[in-house]
């Protein structure tokens, strides 16, 4: 028994048991934020987290943006043997590969191209159109030899295919989008890569984009919902049929004229075209449009009692439960269930509401949980059985997905401690990881009106804080306190093999773990 114990410890220290990957933003095509293969960190030991290493890259921030969620993949064959590698994308068209066991960069790629000379995104101070590489890359499946390709969309709209082991091109780059077009996280389904775009940056249409990397013609397929930007933090989520679901920004709802603003659209590839399959539209879409309360939350997709469901929300701070096979019913406006308004009583378009994405997981008892991060103060009339003091800056709310006699409910279970702009959580081995991004988010002021200015927001931002929470009660198990020294804008967590990763505005990637 003692010998077996020593062998197990040795295997862990040498990384031989590293079996958890994080190949795409949100952990997988369904964007559920659930790391199923984590076995090292637990509710019993997560309080011992510490910074294992941190790397400050030579990546110049652009406006509020800097680093995106790292991708983690193990057992990559390299000239120095198998390695577990993190791929980190930076806004200034940089891609870094890190040996996570050593905490060292093993290769760096910078995408070179002539800078655009016209269009939105060239005016300094505009955080909505930063230019550069704005989409989190994605790692494809392994080939017969174990090699993998990372697909990255550079700021000039060219899609690159690189060997994860050494950063070398495995295929010529192909045109996929506009220069400085502000694309969001890449997703992949059977060789088809999807992205979404928003804010009309540099004249780029707000739409869903797709390209089949195995098609020699590399035809770019698009669907335009006639709305504002499609700016779900994690891009589009893909269900089991290959339908890509993306939230749409402020705009008119007029399906007869192909306009689907402030809703959720599902598109799929038919032949060599991208076609609308289904959609959902909240009944109060017009009010949401008037108050700039976009539906901008990438929906997590999950199985529940023989159905494939998804959840979506907006800055209005309400969650809708939908069936991927029939989103919104016959009228496209009737969800299976919805929550009351949980936050944003002041109807603040910039600093309150649900931002980015959610997470979902199923516990050992079969209970399906939905984790909802929000910014700003909780509404006084929103009640949860378990909470931890006043929430004025943000929090994570846990909902139970329930069904009886064909009727669905989203039942509040707990609300976390106060977090400064709570961001999309990740669940791993029965631990909920979340963070407050520390960002100053106000965009309008009584004395000057709308003034969304990067230098002002950067100067007033503080720093991110990483938290670990009990999954059944929301109790704080760990806080990084003041260890992280910069804020984090539109990034995200990655968790794999006993390590938790977060990138910050100052181009520093933090790796937390238990150490030796």
Q: Would you state the pLDDT for residue 16?
A: 42
pTM of the model: 0.95
| Residue 122 pLDDT > 80 | no
Q: Would you state the pLDDT for residue 6?
A: 36
- The neighbouring-strand residues paired with 297 are 356
Q: For residue 416, what pLDDT band results from cuts at 50, 70 and 90?
A: very high
Token pair belonging to 117: 């000379």
Compute the distance between CA of residue 263 and CA of residue 25 in angstroms, rounded to an integer: 22
Compute the distance between CA of residue 251 and CA of residue 330 in angstroms, rounded to an integer: 22
120 vs 228, higher pLDDT:
228
Which CATH architecture is the domain 2-513 placed in?
Answer: 8 Propeller (2.140)
Q: For residue 329, what pLDDT band results from cuts at 50, 70 and 90?
A: very high
| Residue 116 pLDDT > 90 | no
| Residue 8 pLDDT > 90 | no
Angle at 190 between CA 184 and CA 193, to 5 degrees: 20
Summarize the confidence of residues 110-121 as an average pLDDT: 84
394-404 sheet: strands from edge to edge? 359-362, 368-375, 394-404, 407-415
| Residue 479 pLDDT > 80 | yes
323 CB-near residues (< 8 Å, 6+ apart):
307, 308, 309, 336
Q: What is the pLDDT of residues 257-296, one digit of tens each?
A: 999 999 999 999 999 999 999 999 999 999 999 999 999 9
| Residue 13 pLDDT > 70 | no
Spatial CA neighbour of 351 closest among 343, 342, 340, 361: 343
Q: Would you state the pLDDT for residue 123?
A: 78
Q: Would you state the pLDDT for residue 5?
A: 40
Contact 55, 4 (CB under 8 A): no
Compute the distance between CA of residue 190 and CA of residue 488 in angstroms, rounded to an integer: 32
| Residue 55 pLDDT > 80 | yes
Summarize the confidence of residues 338-364 as an average pLDDT: 97
Residue position matching structure tokens 């390299």: 78
Q: Would you state the pLDDT for residue 10?
A: 40
Compute the distance between CA of residue 172 and CA of residue 157 in angstroms, rounded to an integer: 14
Intra-chain end-to-end CA distance of the chain, in Å: 21
Share of the chain above pLDDT 90, in %: 93
Q: Would you state the pLDDT for residue 117?
A: 77
Compute the distance between CA of residue 442 and CA of residue 348 in angstroms, rounded to an integer: 9
Token pair belonging to 51: 């910074």
Q: What is the pLDDT of residues 428-455, one digit of tens each?
A: 999 999 999 999 999 999 999 999 999 9
13 vs 149, higher pLDDT:
149
| Residue 4 pLDDT > 70 | no
Spatial CA neighbour of 416 closest among 343, 312, 498: 343
Q: What is the pLDDT of residues 199-230, one digit of tens each?
A: 999 889 999 999 999 999 999 999 999 999 99
Q: What is the pLDDT of residues 461-476, one digit of tens each?
A: 999 999 999 999 999 9
Q: What is the pLDDT of residues 485-507, one digit of tens each?
A: 999 999 999 999 999 999 999 99
């Amino acid at each position: 028994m003692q010998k077996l114990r020593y062998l197990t410890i040795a295997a862990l220290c040498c990384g031989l048991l590293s079996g958890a990957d994080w190949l795409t933003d949100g952990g997988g095509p369904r964007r559920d934020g659930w790391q199923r293969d984590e076995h090292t960190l637990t509710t019993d030991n997560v309080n011992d987290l510490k910074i294992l290493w941190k790397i400050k890259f030579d990546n110049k921030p652009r406006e509020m943006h800097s680093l995106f969620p790292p991708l983690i993949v193990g057992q990559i064959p390299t000239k120095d043997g198998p390695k577990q590698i993190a791929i980190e994308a930076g806004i200034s068209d940089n891609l870094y590969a890190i040996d996570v066991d050593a905490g060292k960069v093993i290769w760096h790629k910078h995408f070179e191209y002539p800078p655009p000379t016209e269009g939105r995104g060239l005016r300094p101070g505009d955080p909505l159109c930063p230019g550069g590489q704005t989409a989190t890359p994605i790692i494809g499946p392994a080939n017969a030899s174990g090699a993998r390709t990372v697909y990255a969309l550079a700021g000039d709209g060219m899609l690159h295919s690189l060997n994860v082991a050494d950063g070398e091109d495995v295929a010529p780059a192909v045109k996929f989008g506009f220069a400085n077009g502000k694309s969001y996280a890449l997703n992949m389904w059977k060789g088809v890569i999807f992205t979404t775009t928003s804010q009309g940056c540099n004249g780029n249409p707000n739409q869903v984009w797709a390209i089949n990397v195995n098609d020699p013609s590399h035809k770019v397929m698009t669907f335009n919902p006639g709305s504002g930007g499609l700016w779900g933090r994690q891009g589009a989520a893909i269900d089991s049929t290959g339908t890509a679901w993306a939230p749409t920004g402020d705009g008119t709802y007029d399906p007869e004229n192909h306009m689907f603003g402030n809703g959720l659209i599902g598109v799929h590839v038919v032949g060599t075209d991208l076609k609308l399959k289904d959609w959902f539209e909240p009944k109060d879409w017009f009010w949401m449009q008037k108050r700039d309360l976009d539906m901008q939350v990438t929906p997590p997709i999950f199985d529940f009692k023989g159905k494939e469901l998804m959840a979506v929300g907006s800055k209005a701070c309400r969650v809708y439960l939908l069936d991927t096979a029939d989103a919104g019913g016959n009228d496209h406006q009737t969800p299976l269930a919805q929550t009351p308004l949980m936050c944003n009583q002041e109807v603040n378009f910039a600093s309150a509401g649900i931002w980015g994405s959610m997470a979902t997981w199923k516990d050992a008892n079969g209970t399906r949980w939905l984790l909802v991060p929000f910014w700003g103060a909780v509404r006084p009339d929103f009640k949860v059985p378990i909470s931890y003091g006043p929430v004025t800056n943000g929090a994570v709310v846990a909902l139970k997905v329930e069904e009886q006699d064909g009727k669905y409910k989203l039942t509040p279970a707990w609300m976390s401690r106060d977090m400064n702009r709570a961001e999309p959580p990740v669940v791993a081995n029965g631990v909920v990881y979340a963070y407050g991004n520390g960002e100053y988010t106000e965009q309008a002021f009584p004395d000057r009106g709308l003034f969304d200015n990067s230098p002002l927001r950067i100067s007033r931002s503080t720093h991110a804080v990483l938290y670990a929470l009990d999954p059944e009660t929301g109790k704080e198990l760990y806080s990084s306190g003041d260890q992280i020294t910069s804020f984090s804008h539109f990034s995200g967590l990655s968790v794999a093999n006993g390590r938790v990763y977060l990138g910050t505005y100052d181009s520093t990637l933090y790796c937390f773990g238990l150490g030796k």
